[in-house]
A and B are shown apart, each in its own frame.
Chain A
Amino acid sequence: MKFVMTTAVLPWLAIAPLFAPAVEVDRAVLDAESHRVAVVEKAKASVVAIFSADGGGGGSGVIVTRDGYVVTNFHVAQPCGAAMKCGLPDGRLYNAVIVGLDPTGDVGLIRILGREDFPAAPLGDSDLSRAGDWVFVMGNPFLLADDFQPTVTYGILSGVHRYQYPAGTLLEYTDCLQTDAAINPGNSGGPLFDDEGRVIGIVGRGSFEKRGRVSVDVGYAISINQVKNFMGHLRSGRIVDHATLGARVAFDEDQRVVVTDILEGCDAYRRGLRYGAEILRFGGRTIDSPNAFKNVLGIFPKGWQVPLSFRHSGQRHDVVVRLQGVHSEEELIEKASGEGLKPPGPKPKPTPRTPGDRPGEKRPGDKPPDMPGPNPDSEPRKSAGRATPMPAVVKKSYEARRGYANYFFNRENRERVWKAWTARTNPAGLEGTWRITAQLANQNPLWLELGPSSAELRTGNGQWKWSGQTEGEEVTSPPGSGGLLLALHLWRRLVVLGPEGFGEVYYEGTVPRRGHDALLESLVGLHAGVECRFLFDPRQGHLVHLEMSPDEEVDPCEIEFVDPCEVEGRWLPGRMRVRRGDEVFAELKLEKFQFAEASK
């Protein structure tokens, strides 16, 4: 606070001798000032100064949970590697560990270690922000706060829903907030607060040009609503991907936003989107320009389902589309690393520098801060900070694994979700064949038999079988379901074997379900080339949804588990709604479960 106080007091000292006797300051002005001072004082506690382990670089961040999760920029967190140091305004320096990275959106999540009662900043709703709202930025510009007291700069929002082009597919600022509050190198990753001290953005970029890399009162912040959408994914310890619709749009000659290119394998195409269709609404917003479309696309993670309205051949369509990833896994790993977030080995080699970095300029105490702008100088700086041995407390929270920023957090979340489920449903005794009696919507009976390597469905009209193959016709049996039998088998497989025994199962993060606002926790399992997504209710722990896709380019079979009820100490679904694409395949009322003894 020292710094803030000093700047606030100086102008008064200068003015006081001239005006003090005569001027009576309006009560409202004094009230506004004391309110502002109080808000800044309160907000300050959550602002973090981030330094690489060797002190050679850094930026800013903001604490968003009491257990120490800190949001910052990708381009601040990534060069630090797995471990970094965080200075808090209480004057203490904490160890921190990398959690998740979003290279496309320029967001990084780290966790400061050592306490469970960190002062977390409240998050605002950036969609309510308007040009002209008063805002303030806090952080560590030019890394000058050796005592970790953040600098505050004040201004208004200059624009909202801005689209700032990426460098390639990296560091794209979609739907961002523009402010005239000074943002300088070192402010990167720090919070943009509204006038009540709620975080509405993460600062990370400025327009720079001929005047050098200092603020020209044109800075940008990633909207906090985008960060909220990605938070579950970032907590998964993964390198998370952004989304594409699988279609490109542009203005036509009548200034309508139309599809100019579309991939036939994408979900939007299966939902009826075609070349020349006019985009009306997307993600709950009216689309009146290609930038508006790109803004919506940029705020959602890969795999989320988002409402889309379009007009094609005079007909309006309102659908929900599943967004696909922008990058392949390999591309993403490459983007997130440069060299990669390799675990610090006993003797790591110095990292090669990027062209934007000038070697040999660094002197002791000279910490070149780091911030991207629209010029080539903006490449994230690679810190040479990995020579520092990892502190023991960080080691306990870090596990290197290819494709992950920190696999430790993935394992932890996966175990947490599974534990919450097994707390209600004891999987012991379910190893044998499951026999389920159910009733269809038309009250006709249906029988299911789920064995260790087969599944069978019988109705009055016929019977269908899956006998263990993961290729061929049986995979999508019964016809029209997208593979209900295989999906049920994978359900049973997860229940019986657990995530460890299932195959490769990772914690994806949080995703919404069509028609629901609440986010669900997602485990993704891979078994014999078939991907299956299991969604759990974060409050109750129930498994509420399952999606099985034997092939990316066709609609998955989706099972919604509803009306869970307790049967002999186990929580089992009372009903199942089976859906494929836009069609409901079947609604089943589950009347009776029988679990046979496991065969030896």
Chain B
Amino acid sequence: MSVGMGRTRCLSGLLLLLAAAPLCAAPRSGSLAEPIGRVQPKIVKIYGAGGYHGLEAYQSGITISPEGHILTVFSYVLDSDEISVSLQDGRKFKARLLGADPRMDVAVLKIDAGELPAFDLQQAVEAEAGTRVLAFSNLFGVATGNEPVSVQQGTIAVRTELDARRGTFQTPYHGPVYVLDVTTNNPGAAGGALVDRQGRLLGMLGKELRNAQNSTWLNYAIPIAELRQSVSEIRAGKFVARDEGSKRDKPAKAASLAQWGVVLIPDILPRTPPYVDQVEAGSAADRAGLRADDLVMLVGDRLVQSCKALREALEYVDFEDQVKLTVLRRQELLEFTLQGAGGRGQKE
């Protein structure tokens, strides 16, 4: 009996070992869990304005510096004084909009954190059609708090120019994109990361884009190479809101919209978007081509997100200087140069 028991014990010990083996082998064979585990902590959840009329109040972002710079898309979500960022370690931060380049639809946020896991944009790589990729984002706001963001796998179908389809896709961004064979660009996914199977950064997921002609949706990412310059310019102080810039002296007499014949919509909200309400017929603005319903995005290189910010930006422009306004008209960015009063700058 005792012999038998001993044998049984031996056998069951062996069996246990055999049974335990597959459990201990951490990722399943061919599982992408390892690169995913490295990338996920570098993706953040961003919460801001929205939450009505089918506009989600959240999007995704990528940490691009250990000290808290976050790359994301420039959208209405960031049009808020209360932008918050959730990291995968569960910490939540109030974020500042450092700046945004509306021409590239890109924004950089800053949170006061240190030693964050982050991508180095200089290390981002390029990829060709056929490359197998992973897309990370907080689509549909599925993850909250410390929950890892969603990951999807697919292939780059083509690398192409988005502006080849101008008039079809309404977006200010017209440049190269990676088109993907997986539905990555869902609500809340914009600002997420596209990486290769090794976890190297390739691009940033763009906003949802619907083809106006056939109602299909585009799944795409903007190559990091296209964004690098804007990001470094924003980090260097360009495309920032006024209080982020260097302090300059105001001119004795500042420019005003009235001198060009531009009237904004009534400033009734804390952050009224600076839409043009009227352009006086025959005025300088009219001749330059500005129209009612244009949304002013930039005064020079200065980002303006409200009527108030626009007026403040003009306080730093001499009334005799020429100024460049960048406006959004039906999802197209247009630039207009307005001459200074008294004919300084180029004469008409």
Q: Do A and B come from one complex?
A: yes
Q: Which A residues have a C-beta under 8 Å from some C-beta of B?
A: 32, 128, 130-134, 155-156, 158-159, 161-162, 164, 178, 180, 194-195, 207, 209-211, 215-218, 251, 255, 288-289, 291
Q: Which of B17-48 contact A (CB under 8 A)?
A: 23, 27-37, 40
Asked if A155 contacts B153 (CB within 8 A), the reply is yes
Asked if B23 contacts A128 (CB within 8 A), the reply is yes
Which applies to chain B's interface (DSSP): helix, strand, loop or mixed? loop
Which one of B27, B154, B186, B217 contacts A207 once the chains associate, using CB atoms below 8 Å?
A: B186
Across the interface, name the chain B residue whose C-beta is closest to A217. B183
B93-114 contact mask (Cβ, 8 Å, vs A): 1 or 0 = 0000000000000000000000
Q: Smallest CB–CB gap between A435 and chain B, Å?
A: 37
Task: Report the separation of the CA atoms of residues A161 and B187 in the bound assembly, to the nearest whole angstrom.
Answer: 21
Task: Report the separation of the CA atoms of residues A595 and B147 in the bound assembly, to the nearest whole angstrom.
Answer: 62
Q: Which residues of A sit under 8 angstroms from B146, Cβ to Cβ?
A: 288-289
Q: Which of B135-163 contact A (CB under 8 A)?
A: 139-140, 142-154
Asked if A289 contacts B140 (CB within 8 A), the reply is no
Minimum-distance CB pairs A-B, first 8: A132-B32, A132-B33, A180-B152, A217-B183, A132-B36, A216-B183, A130-B33, A158-B150
Task: Report the separation of the CA atoms of residues A159 and B152 in the bound assembly, to the nearest whole angstrom.
Answer: 9
Task: Report the separation of the CA atoms of residues A9 and B195 in the bound assembly, to the nearest whole angstrom.
Answer: 29
Which one of A156, A159, A288, A291 contacts B148 once the chains associate, using CB atoms below 8 Å?
A: A159
Asked if B28 contacts A207 (CB within 8 A), the reply is no
Task: Report the separation of the CA atoms of residues A210 and B37 in the bound assembly, to the nearest whole angstrom.
Answer: 31
Q: Which residues of B sit under 8 angstroms from A209, Cβ to Cβ?
A: 54, 140, 186-187
Q: Smallest CB–CB gap between B199 and chain A, Å?
A: 11
Asked if A133 contacts B151 (CB within 8 A), the reply is no
| Contacts A159-B142, A218-B183; A133 near B33 (Cβ below 8 A) | yes
Across the interface, name the chain B residue whose C-beta is closest to A290. B145
Q: Which residues of B sit under 8 angstroms from A255, Cβ to Cβ?
A: 90-91
Q: Which residues of A sit under 8 angstroms from B153, Cβ to Cβ?
A: 155-156, 180
Most A C-beta atoms less than 10 A away, residue of B31, B36, B144, B182: B31
Q: Smallest CB–CB gap between A470 and chain B, Å?
A: 48
Task: Report the separation of the CA atoms of residues A546 and B226 in the bound assembly, to the nearest whole angstrom.
Answer: 70
Most B C-beta atoms less than 10 A away, residue of A131, A207, A255: A131
Task: Report the separation of the CA atoms of residues A182 and B31 in the bound assembly, to the nearest whole angstrom.
Answer: 19
| Contacts A128-B23, A178-B150; A134 near B139 (Cβ below 8 A) | no
Q: List 13 A-B residue pairs with CB atoms under 8 Å apart, sorted by A's residue number.
A: A130-B31, A131-B33, A131-B40, A132-B27, A132-B31, A132-B34, A156-B153, A164-B142, A178-B150, A194-B28, A215-B183, A218-B139, A255-B91
Asked if B150 contacts A133 (CB within 8 A), the reply is no
B188-228 contact mask (Cβ, 8 Å, vs A): 1 or 0 = 00000000000000000000000000000100000000000
Q: Smallest CB–CB gap between B201 and chain A, Å?
A: 17
Across the interface, name the chain A residue whose C-beta is closest to B185. A216
Q: Smallest CB–CB gap between B146 and chain A, Å?
A: 6
Asked if A291 contacts B183 (CB within 8 A), the reply is no
Across the interface, name the chain A residue whose C-beta is closest to B135. A180
Asked if B90 contacts A158 (CB within 8 A), the reply is no
Q: Smallest CB–CB gap between B153 and chain A, Å?
A: 5
Which one of B23, B142, B143, B217 contacts A211 once the chains associate, using CB atoms below 8 Å?
A: B217
| Contacts A132-B31, A288-B146, A291-B145; A155 near B152 (Cβ below 8 A) | yes
Q: Smallest CB–CB gap between B142 and chain A, Å?
A: 6
Q: Which residues of A sit under 8 angstroms from B154, Cβ to Cβ?
A: 180
Q: Which residues of B sit under 8 angstroms from A207, Cβ to Cβ?
A: 139-140, 142, 186
Q: Which of B52-111 contact A (CB under 8 A)?
A: 54, 90-91
Q: Smallest CB–CB gap between B277 and chain A, Å?
A: 30
Most B C-beta atoms less than 10 A away, residue of A158, A209, A211, A218: A158
Given A180-B154, A180-B183, 8 other A-B residues pairs in contact with their CB atoms under 8 A: A128-B23, A130-B33, A131-B148, A132-B34, A180-B152, A209-B140, A209-B187, A217-B152
Task: Report the separation of the CA atoms of residues A158 and B146 in the bound assembly, to the nearest whole angstrom.
Answer: 15
| Contacts A162-B142, A207-B139, A207-B140; A218 near B150 (Cβ below 8 A) | yes
Task: Report the separation of the CA atoms of residues A161 and B32 in the bound assembly, to the nearest whole angstrom.
Answer: 17
Task: Report the separation of the CA atoms of residues A211 and B23 in the bound assembly, to the nearest whole angstrom.
Answer: 40
Task: Report the separation of the CA atoms of residues A155 and B183 in the bound assembly, to the nearest whole angstrom.
Answer: 12
Q: Which residues of B sit under 8 angstroms from A195, Cβ to Cβ?
A: 28-30
Q: Which residues of A sit under 8 angstroms from B148, Cβ to Cβ?
A: 131, 159
Task: Report the separation of the CA atoms of residues A131 and B40 in the bound assembly, to the nearest whole angstrom.
Answer: 10
Q: Which residues of A sit under 8 angstroms from B35, Cβ to Cβ?
A: 132
Asked if A218 contacts B31 (CB within 8 A), the reply is no
Task: Report the separation of the CA atoms of residues A133 and B35 in the bound assembly, to the nearest whole angstrom.
Answer: 12
Q: Which residues of A sit under 8 angstroms from B144, Cβ to Cβ?
A: 289, 291
| Contacts A134-B28, A158-B152; A216 near B33 (Cβ below 8 A) | no
Across the interface, name the chain B residue whose C-beta is closest to A130. B33
Task: Report the separation of the CA atoms of residues A401 and B187 in the bound assembly, to the nearest whole angstrom.
Answer: 46
Across the interface, name the chain A residue whose C-beta is closest to B152. A180
Which one of B54, B143, B182 contacts A159 once the chains associate, using CB atoms below 8 Å?
A: B143
Which one of B30, B140, B143, B149 contacts A134 once the chains associate, using CB atoms below 8 Å?
A: B30
Q: Which residues of A sit under 8 angstroms from B91, Cβ to Cβ?
A: 255
Task: Report the separation of the CA atoms of residues A463 and B35 in the bound assembly, to the nearest whole angstrom.
Answer: 70
